[in-house]
Amino acid sequence: MLSFESLKVEFISKMELEEGEELTTANFNHGGLNFAIGTTFGSVYFGQIAKDHKSQCVKIAKLVGLAKTKENAVTSIQLS
């Protein structure tokens, strides 16, 4: 059974969103290191949690031009 006492934050990353843009969906791959995030403006961000023996960091890349207008929100993402 999962308990809230056992949960912890492993990293925090700031994303540059446009004014009024919000996160709508996100998904991790099975390994838990790669992820994708969708927004209300149709943007998709791909990210990777990079770990080494000293620290860990988050690398994020934004895919530009997927949606033709800002009215096309990303509502689902699946990674394999």
Structural domain contains residue 28: yes
Q: What's the pLDDT score for residue 1?
A: 59
d(CA 56, CA 60): 13
Q: What's the pLDDT score for residue 20?
A: 92
Q: What's the pLDDT score for residue 36?
A: 92
Interval 6-46: pLDDT, tens: 777 666 777 888 899 999 999 988 888 889 999 998 889 99
Q: What's the pLDDT score for residue 27?
A: 92
4 phi/psi in degrees, rounded to 5: -65, -25
Structural domain contains residue 80: no
Structural domain contains residue 51: yes
Chain centroid to CA 43: 11
Count Cα neighbours of 10 within 13 Å in the Cβ-side half-sphere: 11
Pair 39, 17: CB distance under 8 Å: yes
For residue 32, the enclosing domain spans: 23-67
Pair 60, 45: CB distance under 8 Å: yes
Q: What's the domain count of the chain?
A: 1
Structural domain contains residue 4: no
Name the token pair of 11.
């990293």
Structural domain contains residue 6: no
Interval 48-79: pLDDT, tens: 888 777 777 778 888 866 766 777 888 888 88
